[in-house]
Structure formats: C-alpha cells, structure tokens
Structure 1
Amino acid sequence: MKMEDIARLAGVSKSAVSIAFSGKPGIGPETRERILKIAKDHGYMPKPRTHAAEAGSRTLTFLVFANSGIVLEQYYQQPFFRELIHYIEERCKFRGFSLLFSTIEMNKLGEQIRSIADEKRSDGVILLGTNLDRAQIAEIADLLPLPLVVLDNCYDTLPVHFVEINNMIGAYQAGSHLCRSGHTRIGYIASDVRIHNFEERRNGFAYALREHGVELAEDCTFTVAPTILSSQESLKRQLGEHLEAGKPLPSAFFCECDYIAISAIKTLTEMGYRIPEDVSVVGFDNISEASIVTPELTTVHTEKEQMAHLAVDLLVQSIASEDTVNTKVKVDTQLVERRSTRIVGDPLQ
C-alpha cells in the first residue's frame, strides 16, 4: 500500500496524509485520526524522515486542545497562534530540536495523553494553555510523564512551569491611554467565551480606570464572539438597544482582543460612526491584521517571540536538569498607538 492508497481510502489529498504522519498542523484531529487508523489497519508504516530517524535526535511536542473555547480546530490559522507557532519552531531549530504537533480532544484526554507518552517520540511538551482551566492543566500535568511547560496561561498554585503574557499590565496600559486621552465614558467589549487571560485583562483595565477616577459602568459593557473578524449583528443589536434606552454611546471602547476590536470597528462603521472621530477603539495582542485594518488599530503588543523563546528554553533546561523547582514567567506588554484612538477635543485628529 502507498500513500496514494491511504489518501483515496480516507478521501483526502496525499499532502493531508503526509501532514498526518508528520504531526504538523494543517488538518483537523478527526481527519488525522481517520488517516492514522486506515494506515494502521492496512499495516502501512510511513517511512521516517532522515532528520527524525537519526540516532540521538531530539524532539519537542506542541500540544493543543482544539475546539475548546477560543482555540479553534484550525488554530494554526488564527493570527495570534500562527505567530506564536512560527517563533516556537524557529527557537526549536536554534536549540537543536525538531517540533511535533499534537491536537487532542478534551473527551479523550487520558487516552491521548498516555498515547503521547507511550510513543516515546518526544523529550518534552509545550502545552498551549490559552483555553484550559486550572483543573484541566493539573490533570494533564499529572498524566504526562514528560517535562512540561504551559504557554499562555498561569495558575500560581500549580507546581508546573508557566510562561504567560502579563495581561494585567497590558490592559492597564490600554485603560491609562484612554483616560489620559480625555475619555471619561469608556465602554468595554468582552468575549462571550471566558478564559484566564480575559479575566486578568478586565482586572487590569478596571484598575487603570479607578486610578484615574473613571468608573466602568455596567451598562457600557457588551459581549461578542471572540474569533470573528467581520461585523457582528449581536453587537449591533446590543448597541442599538443601548441607544434606544436613551443612553449615550461611550466615546471609547477597550476590546479584550484584536479580533473583537476589528469586529467592533466594522460594526460601528456600519452603524454610521467614524473611527476615531466619533469613537476610539483599543485592542489587545497586536496581531498582524491590526496594522492593515482601516483605521490602523491602537493595541497592546504582546511579545510573542519572547514568550516562545522562554517556553522552549525553559523546557530544554527542564529536560537537561533534574531540578524540581518550577518557574512562572510573566512577559510584559507595550501599548502601540495607531489611528483608531484620538485625544478628546483635539481638532487635528
């Protein structure tokens, strides 16, 4: 049997079969599982690539729970994760490691974690923790007999290595920027999917407003889907109801991520508002799309390259050392001012 035969039986392309065997992202977990099952049932053994088959080769696994919260099945196409993966791959090569990708389902957590351990293909695991809660991370750490670093999340009471964004300071920077720009009625557009990062951002933003004597009114808080770049009817409806109740529209909005901010800009524009003349908008993450949307988005820049380097380096150090002391790293952010915000009363903007 050849790869072409596997592809025909699975109803996919030959390249999809190659992706399934290599462990790289590019296909969904169900498709990958179907391809591997067909290969196993027909006794097909993929030929190992030379660099992976060399004696003494070292490999790290990038582990993701997709279709859970904000992490979609095609997570590698989401701008934030796409950039993060790029930097992780670069750092792995620099440190002399190859990188495998493994996507597993939450309802098969135990079975698939044990499978990763039994295959003995990996020296350590970087777990994308964005969409995982404390109990889930604790269970994974307990089941996984390999060095582990959790990326893009942190729970202080778990004895696990973590590398995360300093979400508090990032949202604090955004809130301070809007207050210093003269905004006193500020709205908040939250994700309708709640994760650790978003809760930290809300806390940091509220802290900045309190420090400047500005109150975040509950009637100025709206919720939307966090992974849609187009305008959203749900936001349009919420804003419409707000206005119909005789309440003024906030002069500025902070959005929990750039996806939400870009969606908000498009929604507000469709409603006849000018950005930033009528409403200022600030995002979070500084994805590549933030600099090409019209107007360019003021946002909080997250150091994705530094996060990736720290995660890989910490895992490599953990593999090489018998030290059992765990490390928790927060990476600070920077505000990037672009054209989606303005100073209140400034006629030049």
Structure 2
Amino acid sequence: MGKITMKDIAEKLNISINAVSLALNSKAGVSEETRKQVLDMAEELGYLDKSPKFIKTFANKNICVIIKKYYFEDNNFYGKIMMGIGDESRRKGYDIITCLINESEKSIPSCIESKKVCGIIVIGNIDDDYLVKLKSYKIPVVLVDHTSLLESTDSILTDNKLGSFNITKLLIERGYKNIGFFGDLNYSLSIKERYFGYRESMKKFLEFKTYRELDEFIDSNSILYEIEDHIINKNLEAVKETVKNIKLMPEAFVCSNDNAAISLISALKELGYSVPTNIAIVGFDDIVLGSLIEPKLTTVRVEKDFMGRKAVERLIWRLENKNYPDEKTILSVEIVERDSVGKKYD
C-alpha cells in the first residue's frame, strides 16, 4: 500500500475527508465517537507514523497500563485494580493500552517510545532502573500498590502497615501469643509493609524486650521466603512441605494476603490441623473467595477497585499540574472479622 492519506481513512470509515480532518486536528464538528474511530483507524493504517503532528491528538486519549505477567494472572487482587482503572478511564473518555511485561523486562512499550499515550499507570512492583527509563520520556507516571524509595513518583497505596498491625493486635486480644507470619517478602513492597506492621504489633503488645529476640522468635515460627510461586501456582504439595519445615508451629498465622491464607488453610487441613481450633489464620485483601471457604477468613479489606479509580484520577490531575510535588495517596483499610480466628484460652 502506498502513502496513507486522509482520503483512505475517510473511505474505510465511510465518512467525509472533512470529518477526518476535524477529528485529527481536535476541532469541533464531529462527535467523540467519530473522533475516536478516526484516531484508531489512523493508528491502525500507520497514518500517524507518517504524519507525526497528529500523534499528540491520538495520545491525548490513551493511557498505557504496565503490569508484570504474574501480577496480571492474580484476578482476585490486581485484576480488580485493572477493572477500576478501565472503568474510570472510560468514564473520563480515555482508552487503555495494556502492556504485560516480564519479570526482568528491559524494553519500553512501543506506545510509550512513539509517544502515543499521554500517561502511564504501573500496577505492582517495578524495578527502579525501569522506572527511571519510563520517566525519561517525560510522560506522567502513577504507581499503584508500589512506591519507589529512589525515584519520586505519584503513588496510590494501601495502608498495609496499619492493617497488618491491627489484625495482629486482634489475634493478641483473642489470647494468641505465638503468632507467625506466612508470606514472601521478595514478592512485593506491600508484603514487606504488612510484615512490618505485624512485627511492630508483636513488639508493642507482647513481652519481647528487643527486636533481636523478636526476630529470633519470628524466624522459628514463620515462612518468609520462597513461597509466593507455590501460592500463585496453587501447588498445595509444595506449600505442605514448606509448612512441615517450620521449626515451631505457632498458634496463629498472619498471612501476607488472602491467597496465601487460603493455601495455608488447605495445607494445614491436609496435615491434620483444624482452623481455628488448633491454629488461627488471618489474611489481607478481602478477596471474594475468603468469604466462601471453610472457615470463612478473617481479613483486612482493601478497596481494590477504588485504588484503580484513584490512579486514573491522579494521572488526569497530573496532566494538568505537571509542576506540583509528587504525592503518595494512602487509602484506609478495615478489618473484616469472620470465623478463622476464634479465641485462645490458656
């Protein structure tokens, strides 16, 4: 095919060349629906690459969402954030271009390189080096469920520390003292923060004189590494083997998220334990499955859909306010008490 022209676009859509011109130049006289159809067809036919002056018009309606593949597969948590982003974007008149990246991704999505998006939302953990590369394109970036300690960036976060602190406190108030943590500290910043909240609650409300004493206790009662892959892949046998290797089985577990808690409950049942009679379990995230399993899971509610919506809201605000300082928005959480805790009597 030779050089693409406005006439080609008009013929494909069965509209006038004038309507194509109005749409490409962001002028009044065509509906939003027609404008979108024209821009999408111009992109599809490669017209925008040949006529760079219209790329900005196209970009102004597109947001790039970047997410690692294994986060994308987590429908219960990250999937709900994605839905919030999609719904709010459509409501505000934007389209989403979703880019799945690998764990060790180095390349930048082509829609960013060619400046065909006006903003970027990153869901979940991302390397600082990759974030620096993204920001070098001078396109606004908002992080969701992650923040960088090296690179200042707008972030939408959950109050992980407070949620985990309070749910650990709940266990202590129910009479539990030997409380372990079950979760992979290498998986995400969120899990590190939840672990911090658990650890601070243990130090504050139980009789640990030093952090060293507390950490020695946690090491013998907890699973802190090399567990998330087994949870994601629903590898119950591997979870069971890991649980068997705990030096001192605790009276209760604070889990990094509900998926971890549900896997742990299944593993403990197969190993002959009863929840909460022998071991109490609490989760974090309040996914739907947590209220359907037996026993129903005590957890911390995270407004996942709202996180996604807030990310879009923040990005749109940032497009108009590029010189204001970056902000970290921390969304509140609440404990949802169900049946997986019970009471511990001495």
TM-score normalised per structure 2: 0.75
Q: C-alpha deviations, 1:272-327, integer Å up to 9, x for none?
A: 11111111101111112111121111111112132112211110011123424211
Which among 129, 135, 139 is matched to residue 141 of structure 1?
Answer: 135
Shift in Å at residue 131 of structure 1? 2.5
Of 194, 205, 215, the residue aligned with 2:198 is 205
Aligned to 1:165: 158
The 5 A counterparts of 1:96-245 are: 96-105=93-102, 109-110=106-107, 112-113=108-109, 115-128=110-123, 130-142=124-136, 144-191=137-184, 193-215=186-208, 216=214, 217=217, 218-222=219-223, 223=225, 224-226=227-229, 227-228=231-232, 230=234, 232-242=236-246
Output the amino acid matched with 1:134. Answer: D
Cα separation, 2, equivalents of 1:310 and 1:264: 32
- Ranges in structure 2 where 5+ consecutive residues have no aligned partner: 1-32, 40-56, 209-213
Secondary structure, aligned partner of 1:285: coil
Q: Deviations over 1:155-186 (max 9, x none)?
A: 35422111111211111112111111110111
Contact residue 230 and residue 266 of structure 1 kept, 8 A: no
Residue identity matched to 2:298 = T
Q: Relative to structure 1, is the Cα distance of residues 158 and 152 closer, same or farther in structure 2, using a 3 angstrom cutoff?
A: same
Task: Supply the distance in 2 between the matched residues of 1:275 and 1:106 (Cα, whole angstroms).
Answer: 35
Residue in 1 that maps onto 2:66: 63
- 1:53 maps to 2:46: no
Whether the aligned pair in 2 keeps the contact of 1:231 and 1:264 (CA below 8 Å) is no
CA RMSD, aligned part only?
A: 2.6
Which consecutive unaligned segments of at least 5 residues does structure 1 have? Answer: 1-48
**Residue 92 of structure 1: aligned partner:** 89
Q: Aligned-pair distance for 1:214?
A: 4.8
Q: Is the 8 A contact 1:258 1:290 kept in 2?
A: yes
CA 1:164–1:241: 2 relative to 1, 3 Å: closer
CA distance in 2, matches of 1:157, 1:198: 19
Residues 64 and 111, structure 2, Cα contact 8 Å, conserved in 1: no
Q: Mark the structure with the bigger radius of gyration.
A: 2
Match of 1:335, SS state, is: strand
Q: Residues 132 and 195 of structure 1 are in contact (CA less than 8 Å); yes or no, is this contact kept in structure 2?
A: no
Paired residues for 1:279-294 under 5 Å: 279-294=279-294
Report the 3-state secondary structure (helix = DSSP H, G, I; strand = E; otherwise coil) of the residue aligned with 1:308.
helix
Distance 1:145 1:76, change over 3 A: farther
Secondary structure of 2:276 counterpart: coil
TM-score between the two structures when normalised by the length of structure 1: 0.74
Aligned length: 285
| Distance change >3 Å, CA 322–CA 195, structure 1 → 2 | closer
Q: 1:109 to 1:135 in 2, by over 3 A?
A: closer
Q: Alpha carbons of 1:183 and 1:324: their partners in 2 closer, same or farther (altered >3 Å)?
A: same
Q: Pick closer, same or farther for the CA change 1:324–1:207 going to 2, 3 Å.
A: same
- Find out whether 1:79 has 2:76 as its counterpart: yes
List per-residue Cα deviations over 1:63-92 (Å, max 9, x = no partner). Answer: 12325xxx2xxx155310111111111111
- Deviation of the 1:119 alpha carbon: 3.7
